[in-house]
Amino acid sequence: MGTLIQNGQVVTARETFTADVLIEGSIIREVRAGIDPTGHTLVDATGLLVLPGGIDVHTHMDMPFGGTVSADDFETGTRAAAIGGTTTIVDFAIQAKGTRMRDALDTWWRKAEGKACIDYGLHMIVTDLGSDAGKQGLEDMDDMVQEGVASFKLFMAYPNVLMVDDGTILKALQRTARNGALICMHAENGSAIDVIVQQTLAAGKTAPIYHALSRPTLAEAEAVHRAIALAEIAGVPVYIVHLSSEHALNQVREARDRGLPAFAETCPQYLLLSIEDNQTGTSFEDAKYVFTPPLREKRNQPRLWDGLRTDNLQVVSTDHCPFCFADQKTLGKDDFTKIPNGGPGVENRMQLIYHHGVNCNQITLNRFVEITAESPARIFGLYPRKGVLAAGSDADVVLWDPHALHTISAATHHMRVDYSMFEGFQVQGNARQVYSRGELIVDRGLYLGRIGRGQYLRREARGGAWQ
Q: Which residues bind Zn ion (CB under 5 A)?
A: 186, 319
Please select the residue that binds ligand URP; options are 151, 251, 341, 375, rule is CB under 6 A: 341
**Alpha helices in 158-281, H assignment, sequence order:** 166-179, 190-202, 209-213, 217-234, 246-257, 268-272, 275-278
Please select the residue that binds ligand URP; options are 156, 321, 371, 377, rule is CB under 6 A: 321
Q: How far apart are CA 436 and CA 85, in angstroms?
A: 10
- For residue 41, the minimal CB distance to Zn ion (Å) is 40
342 binds, among ligand URP, Zn ion, none (CB under 5 to 8 A by kind): ligand URP
Q: How far apart are CA 237 and CA 227, in angstroms?
A: 10
Please select the residue that binds ligand URP; options are 72, 75, 319, 401, rule is CB under 6 A: 319
Torsion-angle region of 346 (φ positive above 0: left; ψ -120 to 50: alpha; else: beta):
alpha
228 binds ligand URP (CB under 6 A): no
- For residue 400, the minimal CB distance to Zn ion (Å) is 26
The smaller minimum CB distance to Zn ion, of residues 269 and 393, is found at 269
129 binds ligand URP (CB under 6 A): no
223 binds ligand URP (CB under 6 A): no
Do the strands 238-240 and 182-186 form a parallel or antiparallel pair, or are they unpaired? parallel
Closest alpha carbon to 78 in 343, 452, 457: 452
Tell whether the torsion through CA atoms of 192, 196, 201 and 205 is positive or negative.
negative
The smaller minimum CB distance to ligand URP, of residues 265 and 319, is found at 319
291 binds ligand URP (CB under 6 A): yes
- For residue 386, the minimal CB distance to Zn ion (Å) is 20
Binders of ligand URP among 51-90, rule CB under 6 A? 60
Q: Is residue 302 reached through a cis peptide bond, with omega within 30 degrees of 0 on the bond before it?
A: no
186 binds ligand URP (CB under 6 A): yes
The smaller minimum CB distance to ligand URP, of residues 303 and 320, is found at 320
Q: How many CB atoms lie within 10 A of CB 412?
A: 10
- For residue 341, the minimal CB distance to ligand URP (Å) is 3
- The secondary element (H helix, E strand) that includes residue 21 is strand 16-24
Tell whether the torsion through CA atoms of 96, 100, 103 and 105 is positive or negative.
positive
Beta bridge partners of 320: 59, 343
318 binds ligand URP (CB under 6 A): no
- For residue 273, the minimal CB distance to ligand URP (Å) is 13
Residues lying near ligand URP in the complex (CB under 6 A) are found at: 60, 186, 242, 291-292, 319, 321, 341-342
